[in-house]
Every structure is written in structure tokens, then in C-alpha cells.
Structure 1
Amino acid sequence: MSLALLRGWRRPGPLPGFGLTLGFTISYLCLLILIPLAAVLLKASELTLAQMWQIATSERVLLSLRLSFGMALLAALINAVFGSVLAWVLVRYRFPGRRFIDALIDLPFALPTAVAGIALAAIYAPNGWVGQWFDMRIAFTPLGILIALSFIGLPFVVRTVQPVLQDLEREQEEVAACLGATRLQTVWHVVFPTLLPALLTGVALAFARAVGEYGSVIFIAGNIPMVSEITPLLIVTRLEQFDYAGAAVLAAIMLLISFFILLGINSLQWWLQNRHQARGAAEALPAGSLEAA
């Protein structure tokens, strides 16, 4: 059994250069990802477990972690809703200014994060263009952080859902309508299951981007301790104080939490994709058997 698997693994494929490309891929990942992450964990190991636990369980760190991950997750969920609607409008409708809006979505990719933070702070500050018309404060609060994270995460959802919508055949929706399904039933039972794996990918990318965001947040957050202070800011503060081991501990905590959250999202995406493929194969089986008969 093992020899058969080994021979199957070493069997040459249609394209040459598997060993060379695999070695290049592993080397590239090690240089850019694995070695730097290992250096962070190695730096954090300079402290004792008691010191690590003291840093990780301090009230200021716990509140910053809750704020960072909570706002990042909430922003990703908000982008999942509005990003899907925006992708649907861009794919299914033709209207004046469509190409301009489509290009405008990529603006957070090209815009420096510091510029985005300054712009958002100028808009939502108490004396800003929009903030002056609200009785409640938006800037320098967790709400301002949520707006900033939603701004930088929107393109990830739109650009992952949009290609799937473009490849989705409208005949499936027409068949559902002919069978008596309402528009809501068609969206829920036909369109949404197909979009769900891509939507989860976009949510995971937006969440990962938002967790590590720094430049666009510090200007609108106000950086008030235990109120609007994110964990990346605490890491930078410890680095400025030459507490490299403490900064590495906070970085390792964020790394582990992010890894397990992304692992759960990717596992759910893999399960849903396999379930959708299995359901499609089961629905196509009777038709194929009838044709064979």
C-alpha cells in the first residue's frame, strides 16, 4: 500500500519541473513567513511562562485584544453583507458610472493606510464634515475603528464574490423561477450556496487584514487606554520602550488567535464546498443513469 502511494506521488505529471517548483515554493515560504514567525516565537521565549502569563492577562492587553478581534470580526461580517450586494449590483446591472464605481472599490488597496486614517478622522471627528452633524461621537471611539476596518476590508469581499457571480449561470435561476420559486427562495437555495465558499474566503481575508491594521486606525481611534486602544498599538509602544520580548509575546498571542480563527473559517469553507460538490454530483446522477439506459 505504501509503495503504491509512493509511486503515485513520484509519478511525473503532464508539466515538468515539479521538484524544482516545490523546492522554490518551500524556500520562498520559509524566507518570507516561517522564519520571521519563528523569530517572533523565539524572542517571546526569552521570558518565563509566569512573565508571559502576566503580560497576556493584564487588563489593558485583554481589552485591546477584545477590541482588535471583535471589531475586525464585526467589520468582516458587515463587509460580507454590503460587499455581496455591491458585487451583485456590479455584475447583474448596467448603469452610468458602473466602471467608475468598480475602479473605486480598489482604492483602499492603493491608498496608504495613514492617508486613509487621516481622511476618516477629518470626516468623522466632532468638528469634521460628517461628525459635526451627529450628537454621538464617531471618531476616537470603537465605532470609528469599526468604520476604518470596514473601509480597508471591503475590496476583499467584493473581489472574491464578483468572479463567482460572473461565472454563475442564470439558467439555474430561470429554472427555479419556472418551478415556482420566489425571488427570495431562488437567492437562498440557488445563488447563496454557490457564493458561500467564496464569501467565506472574502470574510477570512477581510478579517485577517483588519486584525493587523495599524495606520488607518490610530488616527481615528484616539488611542485612549482601555477604550479605543488596539493591540498593534501596544506592540509598537513596547517596541518604542525597547521591550522586544514583551512585544513578541503580544505578537505571538495575536498570531495564535488569528491562526485558529482562520483555520476554523477555512475548515468551514472546505466542508461547505465539498458538500456542495457532493450535492451537485448526487443531483446529476439520475440524469446520467437515464442517458446510459
Structure 2
Amino acid sequence: MKKRISSRGILPGFGLTMGYTLIYLSLLVLIPLSILFLKTSSMTWEQFWTTVTDERVLVSFRVSFLTAFFAACVNAVFGVLVAWVLERYQFPGKRILDGIVDLPFALPTAVAGIALASIYSQNGWIGQIFAAWGIKIAYTPVGIFIALTFIGLPFVVRTVQPVLQDWDQQVEEAARTLGATRLQTFLRVIVPYLLPAIMTGFALAFARALGEYGSVVFISGNMPLQTEIVPLLIMTKLEQFDYLGATAIASVMLIASFLMLLLNNFLQWKTNKFDAAR
């Protein structure tokens, strides 16, 4: 009768590591979010609906979601372009450029907001050029869009880069051998392969933009019914000691972010399933 020999890994077993994982996630994620919904549940449905459908709240929702969506769309396009350049070409200063991509991660958001506001204001280096044409950037939704694009770009680049590193360029050569043009090869061969990573980067950039506060508050102007974002409105509610109103608005944002991430995971699953079927 053969003896069963169990190999011991370096890390503890499944039970212990799973226990630590659940405790860690519960303390940092599940319990705080549960308390948020518990606090919101103390409101009646009429109070909740009146709070989240107030005109000021609806305008802030529209500003936050639209600017975050368009910023994520732009980052999804140019993030792929930046990742492509960094992975496919060798040029002087490549490592410096690669490090600059991570700058929005390390830079304090308040510093980014002040820098963007000073550059794009009417007296700024770039803002005065547009001001001469009667176009105002800072303290408008356009300024918010620029700030959200700035902080969201690294999410797409760093999500797409590892996928490009694993890409076999012989597939491109095979497509070219079969008569495909460069554009056809990119759109019908490379893009479907990168699509799950692009969608993940888009979702991360979008979710990050929804919750951005520091870099936006300086360039938005914070004008109610015009350029007020949802995080700023929540802070205003807290300063006014309207904790129920703040938690009601925050819960709507949380549900929207969760649904967006759930939709992204579903689309990735469908894409992977389609690729496997092919």
C-alpha cells in the first residue's frame, strides 16, 4: 500500500490563508460598505427619493457620470496607443516616458488639481490661448474632463501593457501572409485579443474618475448646478451635518459603480467565451 506524501508549501494552507483573506476584506471593504447601506436604510423611501432626486443632486450626477464616461473613453483609445508605443518600439528616453505614465498614481491629487488649474485658467499657459478664441476650459465641465483624463490614463496603459507583452507577433505575420492589410490586422486580429484588457482598463478608469475629488475640486470651480461633482456634494452634506443625505447620495454612487463593474466582468466573460469558441 503506497503512502500518500503531502507536499508542504511555503505559505500556510488554504484554510488559514482564506480566513485571513476574509477577515482582511471584511474589515476594509465589506463592513464599511454594509454600514453605509445600514445608515441609509434608516431613511424612509420618501426621504431617500427626495434626497437623490433633488435638482442639485441630479445635476451633480450628470456632471460626474458624463465627464467620467467621456474621460474613460478617451483613455481607452489613447491608453492603448501609449501602451503600444512603449511595448513595440525602442527609442531614447523610453524608460523615462514609461515612468511618466505612473506619475498620476504617485502625484498627490491636490497637486495635480492646482497644476491643471494654473495651466488651463484664462491666464494660464494653455488657457490663455483658448481664451483668445472665447473658449473657457478651467471652471467648466471641460476642465473636469481634462482632470479625469489625467488621473485615469495609467489604468488603461498598465492593464493593456502585460497583454501586449504576451502577444505573439507571428500571428500578425500570418495575417499579413494571408493578405490582410495593416488596418485589417489591427482591427480584426489584435483588437479582439486586447478587448478584455481594454474593457478592464476602461472600467477601472471610469470607476476611479467617479470617485475623484482632489484634482477636480481645484479646476471645476465647484459651482452648484453647473460644475459641482458628486464627491464634492457629499463633502458639502457632511459639513452641513446632513449625514443621512450624504450616505443616500454615496449609496447611489456605490450601486452605480458596482453595476458598472459587474457589467464589465460579464462582457469580459462573454468575450473570452466567444474567443474560446472560435
Q: 128, 131, 136: which is aligned to 1:132?
A: 128
Q: What's the TM-score once normalised by structure 2's chain length?
A: 0.94
Counterpart of 2:17?
21
- Once the two structures are superposed, residues 30-78 of structure 1 have per-residue CA deviations (whole angstroms, 9 ceiling, x without a partner) of 1000100011111112221111100011111011111111111111110
Counterpart of 2:182?
183
- The yes-or-no answer on 1:102 pairing with 2:98 is yes
Deviation (angstroms), 1:14: 8.6
**Separation in structure 1 between the aligned mates of residue 69 and residue 246 of structure 2, nearest angstrom:** 23
Structure 1: tracts of 5 or more residues without a match: 1-11, 280-293
Q: 1:14 to 1:261 in 2, by over 3 A?
A: farther
Number of residue pairs aligned between Structure 1 and Structure 2: 268
Counterpart of 1:119?
115
Q: Which amino acid aligns with 1:83?
A: G
**Separation in structure 2 between the aligned mates of residue 82 and residue 13 of structure 1, nearest angstrom:** 47
Q: Which amino acid aligns with 2:226?
A: V
Q: 33, 39, 45: which is aligned to 1:43?
A: 39
**Separation in structure 2 between the aligned mates of residue 127 and residue 269 of structure 1, nearest angstrom:** 45
Counterpart of 2:192?
193
Deviation (angstroms), 1:80: 0.3
In the TM superposition, 1:1-293 aligns within 5 A as: 17-134=13-130, 135-279=134-278
Greater CA deviation, 110-119 or 63-72? 63-72
**Separation in structure 1 between the aligned mates of residue 113 and residue 42 of structure 2, nearest angstrom:** 35
SS in 2 for 1:95: coil
Deviation (angstroms), 1:118: 0.2
**Separation in structure 1 between the aligned mates of residue 7 and residue 216 of structure 2, nearest angstrom:** 48
Instruction: Quote the RMSD (CA, aligned, Å).
Output: 1.3
Deviation (angstroms), 1:19: 1.1
Counterpart of 1:287?
none
Deviation (angstroms), 1:13: 10
Deviation (angstroms), 1:273: 1.4
Structure 2: tracts of 5 or more residues without a match: 1-5
- Once the two structures are superposed, residues 112-164 of structure 1 have per-residue CA deviations (whole angstroms, 9 ceiling, x without a partner) of 00000000000000111110111200000000000000000000000010111
Q: 1:13 to 1:131 in 2, by over 3 A?
A: farther
SS in 1 for 2:136: coil
**Separation in structure 1 between the aligned mates of residue 221 and residue 7 of structure 2, nearest angstrom:** 56
**Separation in structure 2 between the aligned mates of residue 80 and residue 24 of structure 1, nearest angstrom:** 35
